[in-house]
Structure 1
């Protein structure tokens, strides 16, 4: 049996195709649907069927025409609330083509009608849009939260796991859960409180080190949610993420009101809103950028070490300045005593001069201390005559 031999050129091209990054490969389009069955069934030709047909005919156009790429509505054809059809349509927030948005939603609703038949509650998740209809009012917003059901675990079973992932190792699991948790946490905060009200969207890129791929993420709420409601919805996904995450490099959790996705390549349009471990302009997933990213990561570490050292040095300098200031205050405190002493000495000298002037013009004679000591026998008691108003009186020998 002859064995086919590939030419070097053909082999090279084949290797290039196999080694192409995921963002350059034709990926299978994501699709998840659920026929919930929580509100029962309907019959063809019923009032509910007519209301549902009208609803899903209007929602794709309304959503694609909106700046938020979102629309929700209810259709009641009669006085009976049991015949009301409720619906929601949302396109992914990074989309710029309204026609692609409308086409995605129209296809999603059409597939639901075909796949779920007469179920009164059905949901379809696609890469670029989300569609749901129901006979129950899932659109109602309450202070306690929002109805994000049905929530689907969309972890990519075909994606490889991160290097070093070991589901049986608690340390490994905690480390990678913290990575995804950091990415999702930053996106949740931005999407709920800092993003445009029209789209409640956050895109992100995160670099850890050269040993791990750069991770890209997207999180979005329906634009009709208030910031606190969006944040609360995201928190529910965070809990599910800790339960469902299995170390894969790509995955998603899809919900009607909020959802998120992450991959090892940039799957969304535009530059990321949130950058973690990166600095400067828009990032790339190419390996060449890992050197720059690693350098920036080292800068962050250096800054983290320099700040405490600078703080300690600052405290030492402040302490020296404080001691110096206290010494200055102490010198200022002693200064009046020194000045008083100087002033007293000056007065004594002036008085002594005056006394000597008086001596020259009177019969009084001034003696030095040594002369007085010799004349009184060193102030002995034998020469003590008594005490006067100015002290002891001695008779000179």
Structure 2
């Protein structure tokens, strides 16, 4: 246990809780954390902090979760699940003002209100469990039948802990009630939705265990930490969320487990309106015949189909033994259905019947980029102007995901086979089954669940589980080098002198022979433009995460030739030439690899080079 987790245990506030029936923004306490250092007035850090907190105050989010970064400053705001968007924004706004007033010049601070929590730091806080600087509050009234009350309360909190943890990517929040003799116990459990399910459950369990003695005899109490919180009372203190309308007769499938809160249920219902009948998809694909099979991925096969109205579709049929579980399926449906951009594959609908889980996309006639890029004959169709258009299109699609979409997303599996090409060879980013909802800039989040494809994964993510928008930037850099060279990242050269593509590109750049990277099948094209793209690719794969440009900067680099590019530093050589970076860490569907020092574990799929998710503990 870290020292910071001990400090507040010794000074728990014995404050009587007044049960509320309407959510209020009542200030509770703040922590100004000196261990992270101080910033000076008029410094860049102060400017970034002000910009971040101002953006939080001026932005209304639908699900009560704020997370973003400006420069070195990372911020997270979480509103109680029953707050309206207006009340939530008001609470976050008040918190922002208080943090600047109460914790001047501190690089890390957290403030607790009755309705929300707000914190900022110069360290990585996204997707990371944090129970330090927790706040414990207790009702002054004791219960008479301690054993019965405690048992009923603990059972209720355990049940709500599981419901909140499985709440999904938008909201991890659950409320409920139970009877202890003639006393009704009301309780609430909540986590920041950037946590994994198990991390959320463990966070609440740790808090409950740490403060069990403090809350033992109390009729009411609450514990708040940066990543999770819980509360119980003998009077209702939360607003009841409206029930979701019943499903229509034509769509009788029950909503996924993500629908545990009103707003999340509305999201699920919107997506369910896109549900297809299994019979119509079987007819469209000739019962998933091999003749209609377009390809095989790590999570299943993709088939071409034609609906009864003549519309061509692409059907992703998730294999029953695939690594993509229920969470990933809901993830892809929820995310992709909300995305609208010319450089993203458009989801038309889905089917969830029995053991079948299908995703129905617009049909893209030219398959994926890898079918052209790594084919010695087809690659000749990719003249430079066409390759450059593909690079720019992918960059704009990623920029939309990172900065411009309604839900800010990290893709986490960007690679040539996940770039589809339409009839005009415009690129469309596809396969969002591994995506995560975050808004990271030059900062990183941590996870014990590693997903993606080995050769495209940023070294800090592959080895330590640290991910951010810069993880996608790294993958994009690998793609640029592949597009320029028509070579897979696994190797470059002949059998006598084989080395990784990134290693070859860096060595050639240092030696002034970067032109050796260019695909010889390209007979024309602007040499300066090609070299500029190689330069940008090397900037993207730099080992230092902070040195990698954002997608906004990359789009500007690609569109403005007057912009001077910085010199790239050494790439992250986390793969040696003897290792094929396009293969899993270990072969076999049940093989695993663990980095015990960082508690990172992965399970691999033999169908493709994707690393799917496993939760170690």
Q: TM-score normalised to the size of structure 1?
A: 0.53
**Are the counterparts in 1 of residues 82 and 238 from structure 2 also a CA contact under 8 Å?**
yes
Query: 1:100 aligned to 2:97?
Result: no
Matched position secondary structure for 1:40: strand
- Cα distance in 1 between the residues matched to 2:148 and 2:211: 14
**Are the counterparts in 2 of residues 86 and 138 from structure 1 also a CA contact under 8 Å?**
yes
Write out aligned runs for 1:164-179 (5 A): 164=145, 172=146, 175-179=148-152
Matched position secondary structure for 1:242: coil
- Cα distance in 2 between the residues matched to 1:226 and 1:185: 17
Query: 1:269 aligned to 2:264?
Result: no
Write out aligned runs for 1:1-397 (5 A): 29-62=26-59, 64-65=60-61, 67-76=62-71, 84-96=72-84, 98-141=85-128, 146-156=129-139, 159-164=140-145, 172=146, 175-193=148-166, 195=167, 197-210=169-182, 213-270=183-240
**Are the counterparts in 1 of residues 136 and 222 from structure 2 also a CA contact under 8 Å?**
yes
- Cα distance in 2 between the residues matched to 1:24 and 1:221: 21
- Cα distance in 2 between the residues matched to 1:246 and 1:272: 33
**Are the counterparts in 2 of residues 139 and 147 from structure 1 also a CA contact under 8 Å?**
no
Structure 1 residue 38, shift from structure 2 partner: 1.9
Aligned to 2:13: none
- Cα distance in 1 between the residues matched to 2:163 and 2:56: 28
User: How many equivalent pairs are there?
Assistant: 226
If each structure's strand is expressed as a fraction of its own residues, which one has the higher value? Answer: 2
Structure 1 residue 266, shift from structure 2 partner: 0.8
Structure 1 residue 74, shift from structure 2 partner: 1.5
Q: Following superposition, which runs of at least 4 residues in structure 1 exceed 6 angstroms of deviation?
A: 24-28
Q: Deviations for 1:244-284, whole angstroms, at most 9, x for unmatched residues?
A: 214121210001111011111111111699xxxxxxxxxxx
For structure 1, which runs of at least 5 residues remain unmatched after alignment?
1-20, 77-83, 165-171, 274-397
Structure 1 residue 23, shift from structure 2 partner: 5.3
**Are the counterparts in 1 of residues 127 and 194 from structure 2 also a CA contact under 8 Å?**
no
If each structure's helix is expressed as a fraction of its own residues, which one has the higher value? Answer: 1
- Cα distance in 2 between the residues matched to 1:85 and 1:215: 40
Structure (1 or 2) with the larger CA radius of gyration: 1
Residues 71 and 29 of structure 1: is their aligned pair in 2 closer, same or farther, counting only changes over 3 Å? closer
Residues 191 and 139 of structure 1: is their aligned pair in 2 closer, same or farther, counting only changes over 3 Å? same
Matched position secondary structure for 2:100: helix
Matched position secondary structure for 1:207: strand
- Cα distance in 2 between the residues matched to 1:138 and 1:197: 17
Structure 1 residue 163, shift from structure 2 partner: 2.0
Residues 240 and 136 of structure 1: is their aligned pair in 2 closer, same or farther, counting only changes over 3 Å? same
- Root mean square deviation of aligned Cα: 2.6
